[in-house]
Structure 1
Amino acid sequence: MKTYQFKLATHSQEIAAYFALRRSIFAEEQQLFQGDDVDEIDKIAYPIVAISQREGSAIATDINKVVGVVRIYEVEPGIWYGGRLGTHPDYRRGWQIGKGLIYKAVTTANTWGCKQFLATVQLQNVRFFQRLHWETMEEIVICDRPHHLMEADLNYYPPGTESRPVLPLQAREAS
């Protein structure tokens, strides 16, 4: 049985795997960016990862593998964004990883004083977000592709207790 841990990426190996998976999804697979998807936002963003914790597996490479990513960042006090949500192609059956990453992202920001949580969502994922208590605010185009600017219903994503870490800049640039 596959289980996953959703957590802030804090160790250098997790952060390197986070950036590698993002590059694989957004630059190589989707070709939204040339070469790499790292940008200025990464200097202020908190990386969140989904880590495979397959129980009873004889496949050791599936254990503790980063299989999903998302980042969160505060653009002004209380206004948070999530972005670069992605799942490794081998783990896209069902929506368990995406749902867990979204929940971890929004509840974490809510813990840290979020008053509004937004994301730009690719058109093919809008209905999925709507089922998770998100609402479209505006239709937009990013990288020549249709997106929706969406807002999470914070009542559905209660704050937790995780304290806000100070992540070293050099760790974020591990890519």
Structure 2
Amino acid sequence: MTSYQFKLATTPEEIAAYYALRQTIFVHEQQLFETSDVDDIDAIAYPIIAVQANAATEPNSGDSADQIVGVVRIYETSPGFWYGGRLGTHPDYRKGWQIGKGLIYKAVTTANTWGCQQFLATVQLQNVRFFQRLHWQSVQEMTICDRPHHLMEVDLNFYPPANEIRPARPFQQVREAS
């Protein structure tokens, strides 16, 4: 079984790969946005990535770089009130739910470590059952980008605080729209 590391994106390379994968998923593949999914929230959000260590792009290529295979962002809108969003997995790594589950766990436990009292996310309709299995409940149905979503809230009792040190401020190397 392939293992992944779930962590805050901190280096310029990780942050660039984070935005590139979001572009692939939300602009090119899902066509939720015309040119870029970057918004004002990115200025305050903490980017979280799923990394497959030593993923070579081709056998015997000599490329031993880590590959970013999943993304999510978390942000605090007022003290203790957190949101998660832009959860996505690289199209080539969507077998099973291991990456999505790991990203959700990292996102919520990180926010919980940083004083989260309530954690919400807007979830595309096709992913609602997956979130329900991970101790989320639907609060409200809504439409975002002309697509059905649910506003969902997690049961924080299933996501204990971790030991992630909160950076002084989010990383603000926002990629320009392409």
TM-score, with normalisation over the residues of structure 2? 0.92
Tell me how far apart the structure 1 counterparts of residues 30 and 164 of structure 2 sit (CA, whole Å).
33
User: What's the CA shift for 1:161?
Assistant: 1.3
Q: Choose the corresponding residue for 1:67, options 57, 66, 69.
A: 69
| Contact 1:6–1:49 (Cα < 8 Å) also in 2 | yes
* 1:81 aligned partner: 83
User: Number of matched residues?
Assistant: 174
CA deviation vs aligned residue, 1:101-157 (integer Å, no higher than 9, x gap): 000000000000000000000000000000000000000000010000000100000
Structure 2: where are the runs of 5+ without partners?
A: none
Task: Look up the match of 1:137.
Answer: 139
Q: Deviations over 1:67-86 (max 9, x none)?
A: 00000000111000000000
Match of 2:129 in 1: 127
Equivalent residue number for residue 48 of structure 1:
48
Distance in 2, matches of 1:146 and 1:32, equals 12
Task: Go from structure 1 to structure 2 and tell me whether the alpha carbon gap of 1:139 and 1:118 turns closer, same or farther (over 3 Å shift).
Answer: same
Gap change, CA 1:96 and 1:62, over 3 Å in 2: farther
Question: Residue in 2 aligned with 1:173?
Answer: 174
Structure 1 133/119 Cα, relative in aligned 2: closer, same or farther at 3 Å? same
Say whether the 8 Å CA contact 2:45–2:170 is kept in structure 1: no
User: 1:168 deviation in Å?
Assistant: 6.3
Q: 1:14 to 1:127 in 2, by over 3 A?
A: same
Note if 1:5 corresponds to 2:5: yes
The separation in 1 between residues aligned to 2:127 and 2:64, in whole angstroms, is 26
Contact 1:4 1:54 (C-alpha < 8 Å) held by counterparts: no
**SS at 2:148 equivalent:** strand
Kindly provide the amino acid, as one letter, of the partner of residue 29 in structure 2: E
Measured after TM superposition, the shift of residue 2 of structure 1 is 1.4
Counterpart residue type for residue 22 of structure 1: R
- Alpha-carbon distance between aligned partners in 2 of 1:62 and 1:146, rounded to the nearest angstrom: 40
Q: Which runs of 4+ in 1 moved over 4 A?
A: 57-63
| Offset, 1:58 | 5.1
2-side partners of 1:144 and 1:174: how far apart? 25
* Distance of 2:129 and 2:170 partners within structure 1: 36
- Cα distance, 1:172 vs. partner? 2.4
Partner of 1:152: 154
Unaligned runs of 5+ in 1: none
Write the letter of the residue equivalent to 2:173: R
Q: CA separation of 1:41/1:166 partners in 2, compared to 1, >3 Å: closer, same or farther?
A: same
Task: Kindly indicate which of the two structures has a greater share of residues assigned to helix.
Answer: 1
Compute the displacement of 1:162 (Å): 1.1
